Copies of this chain bind each other. A is one copy, B any other.
Amino acid sequence: MIAPHADALVEHVRANRARYLDELRAWIAIPSISAQPAHAGDVRRSAEHAVARMRAAGLTDAEVLETGGHPVAYGAWLGAPGAPTILIYGHHDVQPDDPIALWTSPPFDAQVRDGKLYGRGAVDDKGQCLMHLAAIEAHLRVNGKLPLNVKVVIEGEEEVSSAHFESFLAREKERLACDCVVVSDTAVFAEDVPSLTTSLRGLVGWEITVHGPATDLHSGYYGGIVKNPLEALAQMLAALKDAHGRVVVPGFYDGVRELSPAERAEIAALPFDPAKEAAALGVPELSGESVRLPLERMWMRPTLEINGMYGGYQGDGSKTIIPSYAKAKLTSRLVPHQDPHAVRHAVTTFLKRVAPKGVTVEIEEHGDVRAVETSRDHPAVAAAARAMELGFGKPPVFIGTGGTIGPVSSFDRILHLPQVLIGVGLPDDAIHAPNERFDLGQFYGGIETMTYLYDELAKALR
């Protein structure tokens, strides 16, 4: 199965697994939480750490690039004149670590248990970035060169909607010029099902504040004459969906296309057992739009989700107040052909319209990421499929993902570049949650896949 000329590369990366693992642990140790201003210095340290690792891999021109927000780590090897150029994208920022109490081992002191490395950012996305740096290093150390030109962009704001990435792209257009973008920030369908992703959902969000009385009030003295902000917010949020899980906001589904019978059949053919999935997630049964297939709901239907909500007393025991305010954070995952601005506006308008009297409502909108579909017929995608077959021993299936990678949307919309979405996470890696992990089999298989990928892309894009 292994192409003869690649033997030495595979031997090299297999011999260096322990080092790659140590390197990943060292990178995870930097708590680069982009959402929390207190960690801004850590995000910068993480970018510097990535640049140092790029230099060690043999990339030249490695440097921290400013964006106006958290910085990008950038490096390139351009020693193959006449050969194609790929741009590898990943991100070095991570999600917040709370609720911290639910982590079995400390989120930033990554530990191996049962063949998995547990730590914040292990698979999302430091580990997947490191797969590429290890594969590039292997080519340069074993062969002294790469079969194509490589540029690596490791962003620091992916987990906060890539706020400055589009302006960075526009400004650095020349430096980043390439023939194809390679993104490793996705998961395969299942452990034994190598997969390439051909659709990603977009993302917009809202932060809602319902203001009631100027201060918390005694619920006995004032109970009966003041609208409770938590009650108002609950009523507004409850109004968003009908009993079948469908969003009732006018215009919300504008542009959403129905799957073709062929697409439905393809999705239905994938191994997916709702009862098993529910048990794995710890819920009594799956939920959502009842007339749609679960995988369709996850990949090709938009969502409207409450990510957080709070107000009033949250401590031990009880405190009999009418709270002064209530807050909720909502996001919507968008599917191809939905307009982020239109969806943002539609939901904001609806929430203001259904807000009860007696309170005032403030809504901040954020996020602006369109969904993306890539073509599985593109030669680069076919090359990625061959690399994945070489790395994992079977040809990949083509899947969607319900997640969002803002820059994929930017590359698509602004640079009109072909993209390869080749990630090797597992669906149960608990990304964005306590006990995030990276299966080491996937990590090492991913490194081998990437050593093949550069050869395959060099041929396909010639």
Contact = CB atoms under 8 A, between A and B. Distances in A.
A220 B333 contact: yes
Interface of A: 34-37, 95-96, 98-99, 102, 160-161, 187, 201, 203, 205, 207, 212-228, 230-231, 233-235, 237-239, 241, 274, 277, 281-289, 292, 294, 297-298, 301, 303, 305-324, 326-329, 331, 333, 356-360, 366-367, 401-404, 427, 430-435
Contacts of A316: 35-37
Contacts of A324: 102
B218 A303 contact: no
A329 B313 contact: yes
A356 B161 CA distance: 31
Contact of A281 (B187, B214, B314): B214
Contact of A358 (B36, B283, B309): B283
29 contacts: A102-B216, A187-B221, A201-B220, A203-B320, A213-B282, A215-B282, A216-B433, A217-B432, A218-B431, A219-B303, A219-B305, A220-B333, A220-B401, A224-B288, A224-B333, A225-B277, A225-B297, A228-B306, A233-B234, A235-B238, A237-B238, A283-B359, A284-B359, A285-B357, A307-B318, A309-B309, A313-B329, A318-B329, A321-B433
In the A-B complex, the 8 residue pairs with the smallest Cβ-Cβ separation, listed nearest first, are A214-B282, A220-B403, A224-B297, A308-B312, A35-B317, A287-B358, A238-B238, A227-B287
A156 to B, nearest CB: 14
B308 A227 contact: no
Given A357-B284, A357-B287, A360-B284, A98 B313 contact: yes
A298 B451 CA distance: 73
Given A307-B312, A307-B313, A309-B230, A217 B433 contact: yes
A319 B308 CA distance: 8
